[in-house]
Each structure stands twice: as structure tokens, then as C-alpha cells.
Amino acid sequence: MSRPNSLVARFYAFKLTNASGFYLPIYFAFLQDKGFDLAFLGLLSATFSFSLVAVEIPTGYLGDLVGRRGSLAIGAAVRAAIMVAFPFVPSKAGYLVLFGVWATGWAFRSGTQDAWLYEVLQSTCDEDEYARVDGRANAIVLGTSAVAAVLGGVLYTVEPAAPFLANAALALAGLPILYSFPAVETAGDDERFGVRDAVALLRAQAHRPEVRWFVAYAAVFATAFAATRPFEQPMLRAVGVPVAGLGVLYAGFKLVSAGAASLSGTVEDRLGVGGAFAALPAIYGVAFAAIAVVPLAAVPVVFLNRAIRTLTRPIQNQYLNDRLDDVGRATVLSGASMALSLVSGTGKIVAGRVTDVAGAVDGVASFGVALAALGAGIWLAVDPVRSSSTPEASGDAVDATATSD
């Protein structure tokens, strides 16, 4: 089956409205300029991560119950509202609430967006194209964010609120594009699929080794990405990168990640899921060890960390989608995202303590090497990537006995 060009082009346009480059390079600087210290910025990051855990199941359930487009529309509207409010919040308590609401809007898009794309492709052309289409869409988002990052820095010097308002307008532009897509009916829209079914479904999927161990393995390297990001700026400054150079590096991060995202389908075709994920412990182990030996290696390792995460995420989602049925797909994907967020949030706390004792450079290096060793141990012990792709997420599977090891 061929991909309808118009459908894919509209999906790319919708994904473009998810770009966050206007505010990302400056929003921590904005908060620091308001007088907030780094400890509070870390607390905000943790608030987002753990709030995401708390809302992933209910928002994923809503995606299955009320439809994908409605859930994505809510996510876009919440994001726009957050961006409009961000420059004007007067207190620490207000920002803690804001980050909690922000996580809710993010969760409306996470598992739901992945399930929605898979089902649109499934109903109109070929779901096997998921990794390729999603990878290229991510490349477009990252390229747009790189350009927006430069513009955001310029806008910030003119009016500090301008980058946030620009991102709000971009988010709202996605709504008419979203509703130009054909409606996709799935068994997940059946009103009989209730909260108990959602919880039972997650429990059943957690008992499937090809799902459970893959999510555990993926969580290790999601943590390597998420838990080291808060310390990138201190680490880069410690090895001699000036503050002015961080903005240029940020645009570079996006461009390199865009190139990596466009290769997701090719990497999956040539290496398969097993080959792509088997290489991660060695790559991360060597990369983070290099920082301890040659601190300037922190610069290319930051690029590498972002590129790997961007390249492997569509392959990760393809693997999970292939093992799920239509009923509850968004709920299960949101449950997986919840697990990744919980592990990553905990990792941020651990990484913070390690870097506080060892310093930014040595702390990030030792934390990364430890995660690589943990990933290698999981790979050798339980074989997390398994060939079985038989969906077990149908209505009958909710009450069925789960597969055991």
C-alpha cells in the first residue's frame, strides 16, 4: 500500500506545531532572571516528571475513550495556555502549579499521539511505515526548533515574554490541521472499555516479557537522556563553553537530532529493533567514560546523547505498537510513558546528588557509565527485545492469563 502524500504532509505540518524552540533556550534563563535559584529549577523539573506519572493513565484512558483528535486538541490548548501564562506567574507556588498543569497537557499528547498516527496509517495506508513517517516528522520538528531557537534568543532581548507567546501561537496553529484528518474509529472508543479495564489491561501487558523487559531496558536509556539534561549547561560551562556559545550549541543539538530522526526508518530496516538497541550499552559506556578521561568530550557526548534518543524513540514506539491491539493502545503507550517518566524522575534526583558530590563533569560521567552497565546487565539477563509481535491487547486479553517468562 502506498502512503497518501496529502495525509503524510498534513501530519508533518501538525508535528511542526509541536516545535518548542522559541522558549527552550531561554526559559531557565528567564526564571533565573526572576530571581529563582538552581535548586528551585531542579524542583520544577522534578515536579513536571512526577506530575506526568500521576496523569499518564487517566489521560491515556481519555485518549481511548473520547477519541484521539479530541485528546490531542486538549493537549495543544493546554500547552498554548501555559505559554501565555508563563511570563506572568508571580510566585514559586504558582510555577509549581504551572509545571503540574503543563505535565497534564503533555500527557494528553504522549501515548495518544503515537497511537493516533499508527491508527491513521493503519486505516489509510500502511502501519509498517510508522517508524519512517514518525522519524521524518521528528526531524522536521527538530529543524524547526533549531531555527526557532535562534529567533527566540533574539525575541528575548526585545521582550522577554515574546518567545513564550510565539510558541503559544504555534501550538494553536495545530488545531485546524488536526481536524483536517479523517476520523479513525477504533475498538478503543467502545464505552464498555472502562477504568477497571484500563488497569487490568496495563497489568496484563506488564506480565508479557516482550513488553515488560523492553520497557525496563528502554527506561535505562531514557534516564541517561532525561537525567543528564539538567546538568548539561553546568557541565559545558565547566569545560570552557561560554554562556553566549550555549545558544549556538542548542541550535546545533536540534540539527543533529533532526538528522538522526530522519534515519530512524533506515536504521530499523538495516539493524532491526534488536540490533539498534543492543548497541546502546557499549555506545553510552564508551561515551560517558570518555568524559571522565577527556572533559572536553562532554561537547560531542551531549550531541550524541540527544541524537540517540531521537533516533531510537520511533523504533521503540514501533516495537510496542506492533505488540498491541487497537483496544487500549493509547492507555498502554501512556502506561509505558508513565514508567519511563517515573524512572527518569528518580534518576534526576540520583544524578543531582552524584553531581553535587563529584561535580558536573565527573558526576555526569560516572552516572552515565553506571546506567550503561545496568543496561548491559538487563540485556544479558532477560533478552528485552523479543521477536513475538502477536497483539495481546484485545478485549479478551484484558481478562486473559498473562504470558509468563
CATH number at residue 271: 1.20.1250.20
Look at residue 39 and tell me whether its pLDDT is greater than 50: yes
- Asked if residue 200 belongs to a domain, the reply is no
pLDDT of the residue at 405: 39
Task: Retrieve residue 204's grid coordinates.
Answer: 496484563
Residue type, 76: A
Closest CA to 28 of 189, 213, 211, 231: 231
Specify if 306 maps to a domain: yes
Measured CA to CA, the distance from residue 240 to residue 218 in angstroms comes to: 32
pLDDT band at 185 (very low <50, low <70, confident <90, very high): low
What is the phi/psi pair of residue 113, to 5°? -65, -40
Which of 230-234, 330-334, 376-380 has the weakest average pLDDT? 330-334
Domain annotation covers residue 194: no
d(CA 202, CA 214): 15
In one-letter notation, the amino acid at residue 323 is R
- Domain assignment present for 199: no
Higher pLDDT, 259 or 395: 259
> What length does the chain have?
405
Whether 405 maps to a domain, the answer reads: no
Find all residues with CB under 8 Å of 198, minimum gap 6, and list them. Answer: 57, 60, 61, 64, 328, 331
Give Cβ neighbours of residue 390 (< 8 Å, ≥ 6 apart).
Answer: 323
CB neighbours of residue 148 within 10 Å: 24
pTM of the model: 0.66
What is the distance between the alpha carbons of residues 109 and 165, in angstroms, rounded to a whole number? 20
State the total domains in the chain. Answer: 1
Domain around 362: 5-183+205-399
pLDDT at 369: 95
Give a yes or no: residue 404 inside a domain.
Answer: no
Question: What angle separates helix 92-124 from helix 298-322, to the nearest 10 degrees?
Answer: 50
Taking CB atoms within 8 Å and a gap of at least 24, the contacts of 87-91 are 87/30, 87/160, 87/161, 87/164, 87/165, 88/161
Per-residue model confidence as pLDDT tens digits over 101-152:
998 888 787 667 766 777 777 766 665 667 677 777 877 887 788 788 778 7
Whether the CB-CB separation of 224 and 305 falls below 8 Å is answered with yes
pLDDT tens, position by position, 281-295? 999 999 999 999 999
The C-alpha cell 496509517 sits at 121
Within 10 A of 44 (CB to CB), how many other CB atoms are there? 20
**The C-alpha cell of 321 is what?**
505498537
* Mean pLDDT across 307-315: 86
The answer to whether position 137 is within a domain reads yes
Asked whether residue 123 is domain-assigned, the answer is: yes
